[in-house]
């Protein structure tokens, strides 16, 4: 198992190097650049040239890349030119990342809590109105773009009804920061109002974002439970006279969850994509929102770090899923 994890981490390194190269050359092949973005259209050619020299942008691309990688190895990830001019790109990522983790993990938890029981009962009552209704619901979840859901939720519950905050991550309460996970910080410092405020800000964006994984997890759970219900070992469990609770938990769901686990790993990518849209709608200061700002401002330094780190997170979460899979399924462990 350990060897397997190490091998996967080495693979991760390869992914990062290749992706960094692709990103670097691709971003620089786009028209415009940080200098244009910063100085505007009326800048004189002399100003532009001077700025490019300062930033090292007058050098050939491959030299720029080598220098860039050299700086990264020394722990310098570049300076932001648009998101937060002058700030270190890595600092921006580190400041924004906890917000996105809070958002996406809440969304996944909501999706799991609703989708798994619903998928189970839809399969048990296969062909019933509950089943059909859930399928239609999940289809809507897949079909409606997440920014539209986000906007609708924001309009109804934040603007019209005023039940929940319209934007941001927390009210300005002067909260103490420890981990930068706002809910956790509030619990650690016993500033309960800080946690509550952070939670309130999370509700609408995370529900909007949850629609993506919900639909997929529901579908997979339903199909998987349907398969497992037909398995011989479920019949054996019933022949033993076991209670419905044990048959459901130990014999049906434990087996049916294996495909669901895989799907959750693969959903991380679309969750991050969804986070970009949701964060934009709710002005939620996560990496998604930073990604949009950095792209608009041609802030290549920040953009590169954000995309690279998103890839790292994707690979790590999938590694975690694979480890979990081995924990749940003994057949994988002995392979």
Partner 1 sequence: MTTTAYAARADTRSDAPLLSVRDLQVTFQRRGEEPFHAVDGVSFDVRPGQTVGLVGESGCGKSVTSLAIMGLLPRRGNRISGTVDFDGTDLLSLSDGQMRDRRGKDIAMVFQDPLSSLNPVVPVGIQVTEVLERHRGMNRKAAMPMAADLLKRVGIPDPDRRIKDYPHQMSGGMRQRALIAIALACAPRLLIADEPTTALDVTIQAQILALLKELVEDTGTALIMITHDLGVVAGLCDEVNVLYGGKIVERGPRHPIFRTPRHPYTNGLLGSIPRLDAAGERLTPIPGSVADNLPWDHACAFAPRCSQPIAVCTQTTPELETTGDRALRCHNPVEDPR
Q: Which is nearer to partner 1, 44 or 243 (CB)?
A: 243
Regarding 249 and contact with partner 1 (CB under 8 A), the answer is no
- Only segment of 37-45, 76-84, 156-164, 246-254 that touches partner 1 (CB under 8 A): 246-254
Q: Which is nearer to partner 1, 222 or 251 (CB)?
A: 251
CB of 82 to partner 1, least distance (A): 51
The residue among 159, 176, 167, 170 whose CA lies nearest residue 199 is: 170
Burial label, 288 (beta-carbon count in 10 A; 0-12, 13-18, 19+): buried
CB of 145 to partner 1, least distance (A): 38
Contact letters for partner 1, residues 77-116 (x by CB under 8 A) = ----------------------------------------
Distance CA 273, CA 240 (A): 47
Q: Which is nearer to partner 1, 160 or 232 (CB)?
A: 232
Regarding 74 and contact with partner 1 (CB under 8 A), the answer is no
CB of 4 to partner 1, least distance (A): 19
CB of 122 to partner 1, least distance (A): 16
CB of 129 to partner 1, least distance (A): 15
Q: Which is nearer to partner 1, 7 or 238 (CB)?
A: 238
Find where tokens 């996944």 sit: 108
Q: Which is nearer to partner 1, 201 or 222 (CB)?
A: 222
**Is 218 within 8 Å of 229 (Cβ atoms)?**
no
Q: Which is nearer to partner 1, 247 or 273 (CB)?
A: 247
Regarding 250 and contact with partner 1 (CB under 8 A), the answer is yes
Regarding 296 and contact with partner 1 (CB under 8 A), the answer is no
- Only segment of 167-175, 190-198, 217-225, 247-255 that touches partner 1 (CB under 8 A): 247-255
Q: Judged by CB under 8 A, which of 201, 251, 264, 279 binds partner 1? A: 251
Extract the tokens encoding 64. Answer: 């720029």
The sign of the torsion formed by the CA atoms of 55, 56, 62, 67 equals negative
Distance CA 37, CA 166 (A): 30
Regarding 246 and contact with partner 1 (CB under 8 A), the answer is yes
Distance CA 317, CA 309 (A): 12
Distance CA 32, CA 238 (A): 67
Distance CA 214, CA 141 (A): 7
Distance CA 314, CA 107 (A): 16
**Window 306 to 335, contacts with partner 1 (CB under 8 A):** 328-331, 334
**Window 253 to 272, contacts with partner 1 (CB under 8 A):** 254-255, 258
Using CA atoms of 306, 309, 313, 315 in order, give the dihedral in degrees to the nearest 10: 120
CB of 326 to partner 1, least distance (A): 11
Total number of residues binding partner 1 (CB under 8 A)? 23
Q: Which is nearer to partner 1, 199 or 247 (CB)?
A: 247
Residue 289, C-beta contacts closer than 8 angstroms, at least 6 positions apart: 96, 276, 279, 280, 283
Q: Which is nearer to partner 1, 91 or 329 (CB)?
A: 329
Contact letters for partner 1, residues 216-245 (x by CB under 8 A) = ---------------xxx-xxxxxxxxx--
Number of H helices, E strands in the chain: 15, 0
Extract the tokens encoding 312. Answer: 């790292």
| Radius of gyration of the chain from its Cα atoms, rounded to whole angstroms | 24
Q: Which is nearer to partner 1, 40 or 330 (CB)?
A: 330
Burial label, 262 (beta-carbon count in 10 A; 0-12, 13-18, 19+): middle
Q: What angle do CA 24, 27, 29 make, to 5 degrees?
A: 105
Interacting residues toward partner 1 by CB under 8 A: 231-233, 235-243, 246, 250-251, 254-255, 258, 328-331, 334
């Amino acid at each position: 198992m350990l060897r397997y994890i190490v091998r996967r981490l080495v693979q991760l390194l390869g992914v990062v190097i290749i992706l960094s190269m692709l990103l670097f050359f691709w971003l620089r092949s786009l028209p415009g650049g940080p200098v244009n973005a910063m100085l505007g259209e009326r800048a004189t050619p002399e100003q532009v040239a001077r700025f490019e020299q300062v930033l090292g942008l007058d050098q050939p691309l491959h030299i720029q890349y080598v220098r860039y990688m050299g700086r990264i190895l020394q722990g310098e990830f570049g300076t932001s030119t648009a998101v937060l001019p002058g700030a270190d790109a890595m600092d921006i990522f580190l400041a924004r990342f906890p917000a996105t983790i809070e958002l996406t993990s809440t969304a996944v938890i909501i999706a799991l809590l609703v989708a798994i029981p619903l998928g189970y009962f839809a399969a048990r009552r296969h062909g019933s109105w509950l089943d059909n209704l859930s399928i239609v619901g999940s289809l809507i979840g897949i079909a409606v773009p997440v920014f539209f859901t986000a906007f609708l939720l924001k309009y109804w519950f934040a603007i019209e009804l005023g039940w929940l905050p319209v934007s941001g991550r927390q009210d300005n309460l002067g909260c103490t920061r420890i981990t930068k996970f706002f809910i956790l910080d509030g619990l650690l410092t016993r500033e309960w109002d800080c946690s509550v405020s952070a939670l309130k800000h999370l509700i609408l964006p995370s529900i909007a974002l949850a629609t993506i994984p919900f639909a997929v997890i529901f579908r997979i759970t339903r199909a998987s439970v349907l398969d497992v219900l037909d398995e011989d070992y479920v019949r054996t469990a019933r022949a033993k006279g076991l209670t419905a609770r044990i048959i459901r938990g130990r014999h049906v769901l434990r087996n049916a969850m294996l495909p669901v686990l895989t799907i959750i790993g693969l959903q991380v990518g679309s969750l991050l994509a969804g986070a970009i849209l949701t964060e934009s709608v709710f002005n939620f200061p996560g990496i998604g929102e930073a990604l949009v700002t950095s792209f608009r401002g041609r802030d290549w330094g920040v953009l590169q770090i954000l995309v690279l780190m998103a890839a790292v997170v994707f690979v790590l979460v999938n590694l975690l899923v694979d480890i979990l899979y081995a924990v749940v399924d003994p057949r994988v462990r002995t392979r």
